[in-house]
Amino acid sequence: MGSYTGARSAYTAVVTRASRDKSATYRAEEKVMETHELNPLVDPGANNWGKSRRSLIRFEDMPDGRFEVSVGLSVPVEIMLDTTGSMGRNVDIALKGIPDTRDYLQEVMRPGCEAHVATGVFNDVVDRFRDGSQGVVMTRSQFEMTEKMAEQMMHHIPLRGGAGNGKEDSQFCLFAAAYLSSFYINRIGLKGYHFVITDDAADSFIDRQQLVRVFGKDVFDAVSENGHKIDSENIPSTAEVAQDLLKRSHAFTLLVSPNDRVERFWRETMGDAQVVMLPDATLIPQVTATIVGLTEGTLELSSVAEYLEGRGVSKSDAELIERSVRNIPIGAQTVLENFDNIPKKGDIFNTKEDLWPAVYAADRTDVAEVEAPEEVGGWI
């Protein structure tokens, strides 16, 4: 895969290209209207690369058949956008901000870690296309470290609808993150990051028929292959799925101008500590980076307002965000097993499937075998 992680100019070029159309996703929307098929890069039901989204270590092949770590530990960060009603422009907003998203997330990564970003959108199961045909419930990109993350955003399908039925269908995003994700970071006892950005509640239950519609008839086989057991006749509730997700990800819901009902739903579903107020969708880069920095221990609560104002956030919004993040699990990543013991650039693995390096970068001069810690049980 190499050590290239993208240049800001490359991200900006994608944003500029997208801005020439009516919307960032205009061409993808027109194509889906014609073919009724999603691009497989963002289709949660496609099997081209498997239904699970992967965030693994990036390697360079070595002449002796082994593999050298090229960029350090991949830290998955998934951002799922509500694209119904007034939130319908979120992809355009998020794509415009993707150069900042990448830069700000990387700023708050600790040394030896690289942000590995995926994005997605969700609509309402009742939404339809202009021609009256059944709409798209959800799209989900691959995890990327380069400008590919911006390019794949142009394949998302926002329907800009919503039925006014008191919910949108972000529960499928939680399901995918909990059961259809495969992260190296989980195997060593650490967690990635997951963000749902919305102004409405989700459905409290996951309908089997709609689940199959989103992920395909083989969804339960895919979940099982990924190490989870889900009874197709007794699918976990959205709150139960959220609790499973929190076992593998630092997961948060970012709420934009919610009413009391919406805020109550998410606090009951995710827990009070996982709900943060987002003053405006244009601040997604700054708020996600703030949460990651506080969780990773690279940003202190006392410096949040200064950090935000230094990245274009108004004083009033910075104060609101600071108040909102006070109750998140600050430093949660730092107390997990192997926080201080991660693969680093230059480490050598015997196979790509190994849990730990055979040779550490610091020992490359004598290439001595190093005894690695045992795998943490219970992580997929």
pLDDT reading at 317 higher than 90: yes
Quick: pLDDT tens for 37-47.
999 999 999 98
Say how far apart CA 40 and CA 363 lie, in whole Å: 42
Residue 281 placed within a domain:
yes
Q: What is the CATH number of the domain that holds 124?
A: 3.40.50.410
User: How much is the average pLDDT of 262-286?
Assistant: 97
Residue 345 placed within a domain:
no
Residue 51 placed within a domain:
yes
User: How much is the average pLDDT of 241-248?
Assistant: 98
User: How much is the average pLDDT of 98-120?
Assistant: 94
pLDDT of residue 368: 45
Quick: pLDDT tens for 163-183.
667 799 999 999 999 999 999
End-to-end CA distance of the chain: 23
User: How much is the average pLDDT of 349-376?
Assistant: 75
Residue 349 placed within a domain:
no
pLDDT of residue 166: 77
Residue 22 placed within a domain:
yes
User: Range with the lowest mean pLDDT among 81-85, 274-278, 356-360?
Assistant: 81-85
**What percentage of the chain has pLDDT greater than the value 90?**
74
pLDDT of residue 164: 67
User: How much is the average pLDDT of 325-353?
Assistant: 96
Q: Rounded to two decimals, what is the model's pTM?
A: 0.93
Say how far apart CA 61 and CA 20 lie, in whole Å: 39
Overall domain count for the chain: 1
pLDDT of residue 10: 87
Task: Give the structural domain span for 331.
Answer: 8-338
Q: If you write DSSP's letter for every residue of 70-93 in order, what string do you get? A: SS-EEEEEEEEEE-SGGGTTHHHH
Say how far apart CA 23 and CA 119 lie, in whole Å: 17
Residue 353 placed within a domain:
no
Residue 2 placed within a domain:
no
Residue 370 placed within a domain:
no
pLDDT of residue 320: 95
User: What is the average pLDDT score of the chain?
Assistant: 91
Quick: pLDDT tens for 11-37.
888 888 878 887 888 899 889 988 989
Place of tokens 């415009």: 96
pLDDT band at 377 (very low <50, low <70, confident <90, very high): very low
pLDDT reading at 7 higher than 70: yes
pLDDT of residue 17: 87
User: Range with the lowest mean pLDDT among 75-79, 89-93, 208-212?
Assistant: 89-93
